[in-house]
Every structure is written in C-alpha cells, then in structure tokens.
Structure 1
Amino acid sequence: MDISQNIKFYRKQKGYTQVDLAKLLNVKPTAVSAWESGRNKPLMDKVTLMANVFNINISQLVGDTFEVNDINPVYSKLDVNRKKNVYKYAVNQLDDQNKIIQMPEPTPESEYEEFELFGAVSAGTGEYLTDNKPEKVMYKGIVPEHDFAVIVNGNSMLPLFEDKQILFVKKTDEIRSGQIVIVDYDHQAYVKKFVRDEKSCRLVSLNKEYKDMPIDEEHDIHIYGTVVL
C-alpha cells in the first residue's frame, strides 16, 4: 500500500477519526483528508510524527520496505569521491521530494464540510448498517440538511449512484412510490428505489442486472429514510 492508504489504515487501526489525527498532528482536518485521498502528501516532520502516533516505523507508513540503516554499511565502503557523489544525489532527491510534498492543496478549505458517516449501504448484496459506528469525515461541497449519511457499496443503482458515493438521508416513515430509500431488508441495508403500483410493492435496482426485491409478508422490512442527495 502507498502512504495515503497506510495513513487511513493505521488511523482506523488506532480508532482515530480524521479530526482526531489532525489535532494530534496540529494540522487542519482537510490536510488529513487530502493525504488519505492522495491529493497531497505530508511533510516529512508530519510523517515522523504520525509514525510515532501509530507506533510504527516510518518505512511502514510510507509503504517502502527500504530501511535507513541498510545504506550505512555500503556507504562506509565507498572512497571519498564516491561518497561525495552519493551525497550530491541524496541532496537532489531531497529537493525533488520537497517540491512534491510541499505542493498546496488544490481545493480551498472553505469547499469542505465535516459530517458523520454512519456506514455502508449496499447497491448489491446487502450491508449490516447498524453494526457501524459514525466516523467524522470531510466532504467537498455543501452538506445538505440530513439525519445521517452513508456510503454506497456496489453498482446496482447505476447510473444514479456510483460505487463509494456518499448519500445524505432524512429519516421518515412515510415514503412515496418513486423515491430512493435506505431500507433494512431481511436485516441487511440497501439503497433502492421504492415502487408501488397495481402489480406489487417492491424495491427496484436501477441497474437492470439486478432483480427486484418484493415487499411482502415473507420479508422483514424497515425503512430508515429517503435520500436527499
């Protein structure tokens, strides 16, 4: 895994939110969000600090199996002129690295809002929504009025909702035919289109590769709410 994936992995392993890690590193939550998405890379001092916070080696965090001490035995055997060449090369590499990791974030902080992501709902085989605990994350754009947010897992609602898209939901017990709902169907959570007509009452996938899910006495169903965005 690269550094963006490793930051997210070790952060979650420690039970930290993006906001928690930002406070420990004395940076803004948008910086952590940018690191984890790969839009930006942390400075070396933050990499070192994160490695200490996660109680791991720097090489584990940056995703490189190379150990710093590996170069010392080789370097010590070089003659003076070759050592100078190694030093010059190392300086050039450091300059190139700093040009990359010091790039400003492409998106202003004002375009991000923080919200709690409750868990995943399936656009395919079902998720256990109630098993997830809310996680504070950053969202690019304006967060609409909502009661909870979830992330799509799967492709059965294409082209309306893509895999890993965030959905904002308003809780309600009253729904109309044609609305997109978050529903517990036989104890698994889905995002589907609710349809009621003269034929039947059912949950429909927009991707026609998936079959309709009938709403009847044979299935245990609870509506969490309707999708507002």
Structure 2
Amino acid sequence: MNNINKNFGINLKSLLKANHKSQKELAGAISTSQANVSNWIKGTHKPSNQKLTLIADFLSVPLSALLSSESDETIIKTTQTMQQLVTKRRTAVLSYARVQLEEQVHESEALFSVPEIETVTFEQYDLEFAAGAGISLDEIYHVKPERVTLPASEIPSHFVLSFVVRGNSASPLFEDGDPMFGFPSTMITTEGLYAVQYDGSTFMKYIIPHRDHLTMHSFNNEEYPDWETDPEIPVYVIAKIIIPDARGVYH
C-alpha cells in the first residue's frame, strides 16, 4: 500500500460519512462494484482518473479533497453544511466561495510578484580618470559616450556628466569600473572631488585648494599619498564629482 492510495482511502471514507452515503450507493452511482470501493477505502487499489472525477462529482467536492495528504476537516464540515442547505442558499455559499478564491489568487500574485524597478538611461564616457596616466584634455572631446541604463536608486537625481572610474585610487568609495557622476566645472573654489588634468595626466582626486596650490588627496591614501601641485603648472578642471554617502547612496 502506498501513501497516495492510503490517503485517498482515508479521505474517501471520511467524505462518504460526511455526505451520509454508503459504499453501495457510490458504487451504483459510478458504475463499479462495491468490492472496488472497499479496496479503494482500504488503500489497496486506486480508481482511474475517470472514476476519480465521478467520485468527486458524486460527493460534490473538489478532487483535492480526495487526494490531499491530510484529510481536510474544513472541507468535510463545509460539505456537511452544504448538504443541509436549500438550493438557493447553496448557490449563495458557492458565489461567496468563488469571491474568496479570487481574492486568494490576487493575494498570491501580489506576494510573489517582482516589483518593477525604475531605471534611467544616460550617456557615459569611458575615460581614464585615475591616479596616474590618462588621456589629454583635447582627446576627451573626441570620445563618444555610450548609453547606459542603471536603476534610479543607484545614481544621483541630478547630474550632467558620467564617467567610468579606472584604477583603485578612489577605493573604497569608488572601485575600478564604477560609474561616477558630476557637473562640468572650470574652477576649484571649495574642496571636493574633481576630475582634472594636470601636467599631461588626468586625475580624479579629492582636492583641497590653497592660496597658490592644491593638495591632491586619494581615498586610497596608503597606495597614493597626498601631494601638492606646482603653482607654475596649470590645473584644468573637467568636472566636479558628486560624492555618495558611506553606504554608496546618492542624495
């Protein structure tokens, strides 16, 4: 005897009792022998799919009530109550049950649905703003941007330019390959994170301005110590970079 047959037999016996039906009545209604019904209840045999449907119709229950791994007491009690109702009231109960089923389906869909993520598509320049060598300022204007799409939660609400970080000089704030965002700028009036060209190389540095020179600071200060610019060498500012918070979130 397998578990499926055993469960079916237990459920069939309970549902026959709940409906005040005998094995003989079931056998006559679905054109089979009482011996077959007895074997089904014992769990030694299982009816065909066609007979299963006929049994469910005879007992006015869904197939799940017959095949459930556990006898559903609620279904049995509901069936018993339905048997005592007049047709008009049975119809009302059935209509209410269908409404409940629809609500259950909608709740399940909402539970397992994946929320739609808002995205933003923008142009991004793949340039080398790193601690060392980069490209010349003249070459920047010949680089064609690529269109990139990212979740809106991962980018600032307002920006004009976007670049790709190269190298690890800004680690852990920015890692190699991360996007960074900013606004075009030509002057350094307050300290902040800037993309600049200096002495033939491009840099992304946290810059602290002084009266006649700049302190160039890297977030990865162990590998890239601070250094000072030469007052005689001009610094060309490309953009001021927007800095995310410690969690990497832009505000």
TM-score by length of 2: 0.43
TM-score by length of 1: 0.47
